[in-house]
Amino acid sequence: MKREHDFIHNGNRYDFDWGECSASKGFAQVDTTQDASYFGIWTNPFDFITVSYTEGDIYRNTAESAEEYIAFLREMHSDYEKMGQPIIGIDPMLNDDLCQRFIALGLTDLLHESCRPKEASDEV
């Protein structure tokens, strides 16, 4: 895993939402109970990158393989639950390519309900 750290003054998560970590650049938001202007997490299932922003600190983690990426996301999910701040779900921002990529990686259970495939019994 390649790990990088940066810091920006007077930034906020919205700079990432609409910039570096936008859905058009292959990123989905990782929604948590702690999301605020000073905190956010985004992940890219194509390039295996996860970016987090907390009060100016920026951490970029790049996995070297799909397996390493999947393990990282699952560990992050587990760590947040242990802290009592569970991840609500990965939000692909209504981007079907992102949804399908997470599903192909076996991460359906981490997605927002709106992106999960309907069970056969749920179909009308």
Domain ranges of the chain: 2-112
The pair of structure tokens assigned to 90 is: 């990965």
Q: What mean pLDDT do residues 75-98 have? A: 91
Q: How far is it, in rounded angstroms, from Cα 55 to Cα 53?
A: 7
3-class secondary structure, 7: strand
Taking all residues of the chain, what is their mean pLDDT, rounded to a whole number?
A: 91
Distance in angstroms (rounded) separating the CA atoms of residues 66 and 81: 23
What percent of the chain has pLDDT above 90? Answer: 75
User: Which helix (H) or strand (E) covers residue 3, if one does?
Assistant: strand 2-7
Contacts of residue 3, defined as CB under 8 A and 6 or more positions apart, other chains included, come to 59, 60, 61, 62
pLDDT of residue 120 exceeding 50: no
| Banded pLDDT at 46 (limits 50, 70, 90) | very high
pLDDT at 108 over 60: yes
> Is the pLDDT score of 35 beyond 50?
yes
Per-residue pLDDT, 121: 39
Per-residue model confidence (pLDDT) at position 119? 63
